[in-house]
Amino acid sequence: MASIKGSANVVIIGGGVIGLTIARALALRGVRDVCLVERAGLGSEASFAAGGMLLPQVETDAQDDFFTLACQSRDLYPSFAAALNEETGIDIELDTTGTLYLALTEHDQEEIEKRYAWQSRAGLPVEILSATAARELEPAISDTTRGALLFPNDIQVENRRLLSALANSINKLGVDIVTQTNVDSLIIEENSVRGVQTSRGRIECSVAVIAAGSWTSFIKSSSPCKIPEIEPVRGQMVCLEAKPQLTRHVIYSPRGYLVPRRDGRLLAGSTSEHVGFAKYITAGGISTILRNALEISPTIANLPIVDAWAGLRPKPADGLPVLGRCDEIDGLFYATGHYRNGILLAPLTGELVSEAIVSTKR
């Protein structure tokens, strides 16, 4: 390997969707000499394994601060996608068809009625559908469907094309990219960041951003600063081939989901397993996913399986991302623990963290 630069203005630890988006946001704000360090390849972990769904209304049970942030980030995606396309020529396939949330049991029906009640009271875009109306919209859904919610603003993106666009963008913007390199520890002196120690040598810097996802807890520090405890949670996925497309919307139930892609792939997910760093697919996991997918649409029984994979979602103890400036250490910023919402929260995380960094340097 070529030697790495010995210094940078800002070092970003982690090259998933969060680290990539922060690097791009910093470069666009005029911050020069940004170095991104990734332990494997860019976007090769949770960001690559994701389904690309942007579903704050579907997946949230109450209107709290996190829900507000998630909706704000989702609503940035049209301009985010357009800017990346202009910068790189890569279409990240933002699909604004919307999401259909099915009620397949009596309990499901009670849940969607509760969700419809609070979201409609809050003035959020949501429509309640009868079983007949839902099947008219998506004929492939199960005959056992009792009703559904239509979320026009909960959309999806092709996450792997998003990662390619971000990597292309930061390369064009002059960000120094270092892959296949571990950051072992932070170098802290007098309560300030002085650099990071990597598996290939020291990089001096005055700002470090921890965006290492499930590997955050492996970073050591000689100072009293607390490195967030992040647990990996395995999620398995199955990819089917549906040509012509089986559905137009993302189809969601309380137990599983189907995500149609433009090229005819149909993603089915997912599991949530507390198994440490065991990133592999299992017979039980695939069986569960297919059972839940067949509940949504028995039609998929005849579709070929073309791929399956697993990823490790980074989950903090409270399930909420760790974002912002460290109060104890000057120059240390957190952007980790996004759990199931890394793709969703990437645009807003990039804006918030880059602004926090720039504002401390003014």
Torsion angles phi and psi, residue 288, rounded to 5? -65, -45
User: DSSP for 290-302?
Assistant: HHHHHHH-GGGGG
- Token reading at 91: 């279409």
Report CA-CA distances (Å) from 88 to 18, 92, 138, 169.
18, 10, 34, 6
- Token reading at 169: 């963008």
Residue in 204, 226, 231, 200 with CA at minimum distance from that of residue 215: 231
Structure letter (DSSP) for residue 196 = E
Q: What percent helix, strand, coil does the chain show, rounded to 5?
A: 35, 30, 35
Residue 36 to residue 211: CA distance in whole angstroms: 10
Question: Which residue ranges in the chain fall short of pLDDT 50?
Answer: none
Residue-level pLDDT at 195? 96
Q: Are 196 and 185 in contact (CB under 8 A)?
A: yes
What is 97-153+231-316's CATH topology? D-Amino Acid Oxidase; Chain A, domain 2 (3.30.9)
Residue-level pLDDT at 322? 97
Q: Are strands 10-13 and 207-210 parallel, antiparallel or unpaired?
A: parallel
- Token reading at 89: 């020529």
Model pLDDT for residues 203-255, shown as the tens digit of each residue: 999 999 999 999 999 999 876 678 999 999 999 999 999 999 999 999 999 99
pTM to 2 decimal places: 0.96
Structure letter (DSSP) for residue 83 = H
Every domain of the chain and the residues it spans: 10-51+161-229+318-361, 97-153+231-316
Residue-level pLDDT at 362? 63
Residue-level pLDDT at 39? 97
Residue in 350, 317, 318, 345 with CA at minimum distance from that of residue 333: 350
Model pLDDT for residues 301-315, shown as the tens digit of each residue: 999 999 999 999 999
3-state secondary structure of 234: strand
What is 10-51+161-229+318-361's CATH topology? FAD/NAD(P)-binding domain (3.50.50)
Q: Are 272 and 314 in contact (CB under 8 A)?
A: no
On the question of a common fold for 10-51+161-229+318-361 and 97-153+231-316, the answer reads no
Residue 47 to residue 173: CA distance in whole angstroms: 21
Residue-level pLDDT at 1? 57
